[in-house]
Amino acid sequence: MSSQAETIRRKPRRLATELVDSLSEQIRGRALKPGDKLPTESAIMQNFGVSRTVVREAISALQAAGFVETRHGIGTFVLDSPSGFEFRVEPRSIPTVRDILAMLELRISLESEAAALAAERRTEAQLAELRRVLDAYQVALHSGGDTAEPDFQFHLRVAEATGNRYFPEVLARFGTTTIPRTRVSLLQSPGGQTAFLSTLGKEHEQIYAAILKGDPTAASRHMRTHLTQSRDRFRRAQDVAK
């Protein structure tokens, strides 16, 4: 795995996508056969030099694609017949402002419905996972760490809570590159950036509260508002930069 790990380290903005590609290639090439157990999260982190968040994002994408299944308390195992469904969004395929806005437009429609379904179908375990990534976002915010990963993880966990594997599969392929602030600096001052990220956190909390209450209408409305405001903030940032 050493050469694969070196490839991944050279492309930090594509960590999860590169890890998905590497593991799926091993499955397709039968290096990992049906029934085989994947290495532990810690082993994958060490082998590929990535964070636990990246590993979990990659495993979620492999689950959504039908390559693996996770048996709680036991591990993650390779399935017999990977899904033929493929949807891929690479950073280089979103090169322009227009492309980013178009992607946000797609996410508004997709994730608003996902939030509504999540409010109807979420399990207690999924609620706990949503709470975990929201807390991770706050830790990153107040420590000056990377908030893009827990931000994306929150949206991915909402998609998983729909119970429809295609929602997280599509979203996992988007990755953090479709979060506008990973493509452009939306705010210049540190104080403004902190206020901006705090606002995003509050918007996430509103979505979570609606899902927790089992209110699909409110969950959909809050998700639509959150992503619409993200699109509008990005547009304003581009206007200022011109």
> With contact defined as beta carbons under 8 Å apart, do 70 and 78 qualify?
no
Q: Residue ranges of the alpha helices (H) in the chain?
A: 2-9, 15-28, 41-48, 52-64, 97-121, 124-143, 148-160, 166-174, 190-213, 216-241
What is the structure's pLDDT at 228? 95
CA distance readout (Å), 241 to 114, 137, 233, 235: 33, 27, 12, 10
The pair phi, psi for residue 163, each rounded to 5°, is 80, 5
Domains for the chain: give ranges and CATH numbers.
Answer: 2-78 (1.10.10.10), 92-241 (1.20.120.530)
Q: Quick check: helix, strand or coil at residue 77?
A: strand
Q: Quick check: helix, strand or coil at residue 68?
A: strand
Exposed/middle/buried for 82, CB within 10 Å: 0-12, 13-18, 19+?
Answer: middle
Residue pointed to by tokens 């996508």: 17
| Cα–Cα distance for residue pair 110/170, rounded to 1 Å | 9
| Cα–Cα distance for residue pair 118/113, rounded to 1 Å | 9
Which residues, 6 or more positions from 151, have their beta carbon under 8 angstroms from its beta carbon?
137, 176, 179, 200, 204
**How many alpha carbons fall within 13 Å on the CB side of residue 41?**
14
This prediction has a pTM of 0.64
| Cα–Cα distance for residue pair 102/89, rounded to 1 Å | 13
Nearest to 62 by CA among 28, 30, 31: 28
Q: What is the pLDDT along the chain (242 residues), one digit of tens a residue?
A: 444 554 444 444 468 778 888 898 888 888 899 999 999 999 999 999 998 888 888 887 787 667 888 887 788 999 876 544 455 554 444 446 677 788 888 999 999 999 999 999 999 999 999 999 999 999 999 998 888 888 988 999 999 999 998 898 788 766 665 665 544 555 455 556 788 889 999 999 999 999 999 999 999 999 999 999 988 877 776 665 55
Please provide the size of the chain in residues.
242
What is the structure's pLDDT at 230? 86
